[in-house]
Structure 1
């Protein structure tokens, strides 16, 4: 038996067989690990998203589970992910993921828009802005992001949807104008998208 084993080791195919066996073992371990961790990771992501949802949309405004109403659609050539909140079988709000280019990279936001076009709330989900300057878009750092609640395309008007440095109504941060400008732009564009595709988002027919 040992002689046969030694002969196998001396063949040209042995290294390939050994590497194949190692690769198979590694792949098997990765599959097992992935199966063990996939569900906990998914549960954690849903838990985090639920907390964000609770911050931007009052529970009284829906009677379904919005996180079970997930949609991913390409609108005007761009892919969007959003959720529909329903109250008494009608869409009461949408929760839209959007992004805007900040100073150091994309700023990803969650924008909740009521059926009447009014903002329910906005939260920043991720960013790479400068700590101590641009990170004031986070609720944990300042209350600046709360100023969007209750606003719409007509409140303020188009000129108001800019930072004060650009003639608008939104405060900028000392030394970090680009960051709040990007957030304002992203939220404004989300409202414009909602208005342009309102029937689609709210599942209305033209007659409605």
Structure 2
């Protein structure tokens, strides 16, 4: 008959089993991560390109845009406290546009994150809201997915605008003396987006040489 395990030996055996389980589990997780990280990265890139192609027609550039980037440090002009990326679009080696991340800090319910494409002539190609917490049914029309007007969504007003045809001081909603329409009773959210886009357009114009070096 085998001798019963002492409390010390029992604890040691349990610890050894737990250690073995931990090592096996860790190895399995590491293996799963290694096997899937390429797929995850490719999926993330595909999602990012889908968004970019909503603000910049894919036929307008032929470079690997996600690999042609400019890293920004903290950039208050774009509302980027922790920096961000500028993606550079080129056609036959020549610059055609930049796609920028930006943040409107003064939305009705907090920050509104944006992606903005600006052509080299300073014209806005497109704008999309990527994240917001605006009140459903009111300020959320800044997001074309939630805008009930699918034919002419509010966000499309920016397309074709530039500081050369629309002075900086007129980038406001109509009631404040600007050139952008809005929905009655919901002006804070669109005003925040308009201001953020105007600053982004100005930033692109002021830093064009640096962005395309």
* TM-score where L is the length of structure 1: 0.83
Partner residue, 2:53 = 54
Q: Does 1:145 align with 2:149?
A: no
Alpha-carbon distance in 1 for matches of 2:145, 2:114: 15
Moved more, 25-34 or 62-71: 25-34
SS at match of 2:99: strand
Q: 1:110 to 1:13 in 2, by over 3 A?
A: same
The residue correspondences of 1:1-208 to structure 2 (distance < 5 A) are 6-7=5-6, 10=9, 17-74=16-73, 76=75, 79-101=83-105, 102-142=107-147, 143-203=153-213
Q: Deviations over 1:91-118 (max 9, x none)?
A: 1111111111222232111111101111
Check conservation: 1:115, 1:202, Cα contact below 8 A.
no
Q: Give the aligned CA root-mean-square deviation in angstroms.
A: 2.6
Query: Structure 1 residue 15: deviation in Å?
Result: 5.8
Alpha-carbon distance in 2 for matches of 1:33, 1:148: 44
Alpha-carbon distance in 1 for matches of 2:20, 2:191: 55
Q: 1:33 to 1:192 in 2, by over 3 A?
A: same
Alpha-carbon distance in 2 for matches of 1:78, 1:9: 53
Q: What is the aligned length?
A: 202
Alpha-carbon distance in 2 for matches of 1:39, 1:118: 36
* TM-score where L is the length of structure 2: 0.81
Q: 1:189 to 1:10 in 2, by over 3 A?
A: same
SS at match of 2:180: coil
Larger relative contact order (C-alpha < 8 A, sep ≥ 6)?
2
Check conservation: 2:70, 2:211, Cα contact below 8 A.
no
Moved more, 68-77 or 53-62: 68-77
Q: 1:130 to 1:19 in 2, by over 3 A?
A: farther
Check conservation: 1:121, 1:146, Cα contact below 8 A.
yes
Alpha-carbon distance in 2 for matches of 1:90, 1:35: 37
Alpha-carbon distance in 2 for matches of 1:138, 1:188: 18
Partner residue, 1:206 = none
SS at match of 1:6: coil
Unpaired runs of at least 5, structure 2: 76-80, 148-152
Alpha-carbon distance in 1 for matches of 2:29, 2:3: 32
